[in-house]
Structure 1
Amino acid sequence: MTEPSGRTFSFLVNPVSGGGAAPAAVVPVARILRDAGATVDVTYSSGPRATLDVIEGAVARGEIVVSVGGDGMLSSIAGRVSQLGGTLGIVPAGRGNDFARMLGLSSDPEEVAAILLEGAPRAIDLLSVRIGDAEPRVVASSVYTGVDAVAGEIVDKVRWLPGKLQYPYAAVHALATYKPIEAHVVIDGVAHDFGAATVVVANSKFYGSGMKIAPQAEVDDGLLDVVVIEAAGRRGLIQSLPKVYDGAHVELDEVHVVRGRSVTINGTPSVPMGGDGEPLGQLPAGVDEATRIDVLPGALQLLLPS
């Protein structure tokens, strides 16, 4: 490992990420960094939304802000770091770690520390999400509505299950009770209408703890991958679920993939919306209240292997 060249780090830790795994993940990484001569400050947040003044102070001091947790924690930090022109690092320590999976990042402390010490900042895209007149939110990986958002709500209720079983369990149970959405989706000004089980607007290939929902997505191409799975019988949807893990679902007739830079979605009935494992609200019914999702090209400087 080379000298850190005076790098300083401000770790922001979600103590509940990964069923409490995040605090334990900090210790070996911080020790390696300090042994290499780096300065490390650690702050524990009360939830996935980091304290804004901590981020602002860290960026103002020229520190690299490090997200320790899962995708929700990362998204809660990334927007503010991007706005302030800072650099972000990742210690993957959540249940899903889908954005880290997309970037090929390991949770091994030695590998994590090597990237923080030696990695180079790379510009990646983010998503801006506005539901109706609400303030826009920044999401790193994907926004979704329909059966997958319902599954996300179920995941939060089954933390007693082993982590690897939570998402598959939630997906099957959500499919067993889902109601199709009459979705109106506008992509770069072109309107599409679907009877959909789910609509996903993706910046990353992965969501739902390893499901390869958008196989062609890239985090630095300035495009959104909109994946619509049309409503089918519950049995057919459950049988097709395994295909999502390797991306083979996009070959099915009921799956549509459209790429663009700006997307609006509305539809009925009212169903949940989620983003990177966090609830965003309900899908608006009216066109005037539609959810708008825009790509923010190259918005975030993220430390990655050089």
Structure 2
Amino acid sequence: MRHFTAVVKPTSGSSGSESLVPLARALREGGAELEVEYSRSLGHARDLALRAAERGRVVLGVGGDGLAGRVVGALAGTDAVAGIVPAGRGNDFARALGLPEKVADLAEVLLHAEPVKTDAIEIESAVHQRMAVLGSVYAGVDALANRHADDYRALGGAASYYMGGLRAVTTWRPAHYRITIDGTPHERTGYTVVAANSGYYGFGRQIAPGASVRDGVLDVVVIHHASRLLFFSMMNELKTGRHIRRPEVEILHGREVRIEADRALPYGADGEVEAELPVTARVLPEALHLLC
């Protein structure tokens, strides 16, 4: 019998705490024991996850990528077992793990799957000191888009991301980046740099189709300077990953990536973490033990 602690952010509303109800029923009917902890903030969620893990519990992050990233990321480098209950707007890391959407199927995974060793990302900047996240670190127009998407939250899901992206791109001017990958510098000018562990971000967009959460490296996607019209075309191609065929898109690989820019630019991670460049992202191979 597994003993679960589910960490939920109450402000997630029906997409968080309420969505846990049918899953909790399925887990208990399957013989598991489940307790629920309600977090006051992402920092509090991290603390709750650590305390539950210290008691030998299987920790569940219930919510979107930000909440799941903070809960599960807190356990990076430990022997704790964790799971993700996707209940947010994007659910991109859950998508990369191939987690099922149906409650019964997800309960089956959480009840019976063996933990799989999975990579995480450690980020380091003036604001974040060696904090683990799950999916990707992105610096540029997409970080602005994610910030703006919160202003359109009432539209829900993909629509909020689309409107946030539209607003970000129409006001964007090219940035000059210095990207240092495993000690080798690369100078580029463009829209964004993404250090990806997961292939998905921004509500199912396949920013790095070749990325794997189990290969021990980061896929570094650079979108070079192009016309806004072309960039909007590439935004549509992110749905299928076709954008990587364009000459304006470059993909590099490495274990440690430092991103700097010629002006103050925001970076984001897992849809929630936000600060300004520079930032260093390094892969943490097999740092997590996830039910997936």
TM-score interval for Structure 1 and Structure 2 normalised by the shorter chain: over 0.9
Residue 151 of structure 1 aligns to a residue whose secondary structure is: helix
Match of 1:242 among 218, 236, 261: 236
- Corresponding pairs, count: 292
Aligned counterparts of 2:115 and 2:206: Cα–Cα separation in 1: 25
Q: Is the 8 A contact 1:201 1:226 kept in 2?
A: yes
TM-score, scaled relative to structure 2: 0.96
After alignment, is 144-153 or 154-163 more displaced?
Answer: 154-163
Match of 1:296 among 247, 260, 284: 284
Q: Is the 8 A contact 1:270 1:283 kept in 2?
A: yes
Shift of 1:48: 3.2
- Counterpart of 2:222 in structure 1 is 228
Q: Is the 8 A contact 1:12 1:50 kept in 2?
A: no
Deviation digits for residues 87-146 of structure 1 (CA, Å, limit 9, x no counterpart):
101110010000011111123211111111011100000001111475121110000010
After alignment, is 197-206 or 275-284 more displaced?
Answer: 275-284
- Counterpart of 1:98 in structure 2 is 92
Shift of 1:161: 0.8
State, as a whole percentage, how many aligned pairs show the same letter.
Answer: 40
2:191 is the counterpart of 1:197:
yes
Instruction: In structure 1, list runs of 5 or more residues that go unmatched.
Output: 1-5, 285-290
- Counterpart of 2:3 in structure 1 is 8
Instruction: In structure 2, list runs of 5 or more residues that go unmatched.
Output: none
2:22 is the counterpart of 1:28:
yes
Distance change (3 Å), C-alpha of 1:50 and 1:120: farther
Deviation digits for residues 25-68 of structure 1 (CA, Å, limit 9, x no counterpart):
11011111112221100011123334444323322222100010
Match of 2:54 among 29, 54, 60: 60
Distance change (3 Å), C-alpha of 1:56 and 1:132: closer
TM-score, scaled relative to structure 1: 0.91
Write the letter of the residue equivalent to 1:7: R
Q: Is the 8 A contact 1:50 1:77 kept in 2?
A: no
- Counterpart of 1:287 in structure 2 is none
